[in-house]
Amino acid sequence: MSVEVVLSILSLPIAVILMFLVIWNIISFDELKTDYKNPIDLCNSLNPLVVPEYALQGFISLCYLYYMQYLGIVIMLPLTAYHVYRYIRRPRMSVLGIYDPTAVMNGDEMDRNKKEGFVKLAIYLINFFAGLLWMILAVSS
């Protein structure tokens, strides 16, 4: 098997996992907005998922960079840079994660997190369909 086939087969399940994590994130913020969940429960459920999401997304970006998949680099590298920026600028907490229970209830912060989730979902969907296209092209050649 060629490198392109392996990379495309590897990127598809990772893209599905990333989409699941982002959808979970969006649903959790919607539950917070409608008072089904309190901020502490939200942060306790989302903070453990931040590092795995960032690691998976960074791994795919590094694979695209290593194998010179230019479309994948264009799609994923800006998001990787944003993730690094966001994690560096996170509030001081004792746990890993980016969500602080005292700040997450702020209306602007809640809206920003939901918009961020929708943008990330769009990027991961584009990545999924691009990976599907790469797999079809790599297998057919």
> How does DSSP assign 92-132, residue by residue?
P-SSSSS--TTTTTSHHHHHHHHHHHHHHHHHHHHHHHHHH
Is residue 128 within 8 Å of 12, Cβ to Cβ?
yes
Q: What is the pLDDT of residue 64?
A: 85
Q: What is the pLDDT of residue 52?
A: 93
**Distance of alpha carbon 2 from alpha carbon 99, whole angstroms:** 41
Is residue 76 within 8 Å of 123, Cβ to Cβ?
yes
State both tokens at 104. 């997450």
Q: What is the pLDDT of residue 93?
A: 73
For the entire predicted model, the pTM comes to 0.89
Q: What is the pLDDT of residue 22?
A: 96
Predicted confidence (pLDDT) per residue in 55-96, tens digit: 999 999 888 888 888 888 898 989 999 999 988 888 777 777
Phi-psi domain of 97 (left: phi exceeds 0; alpha: psi -120 through 50; beta: other): left
Q: What is the pLDDT of residue 56?
A: 94
Mean pLDDT by 10 residues, the chain (141 residues): 78 92 93 86 89 92 84 89 90 79 84 92 92 84 76
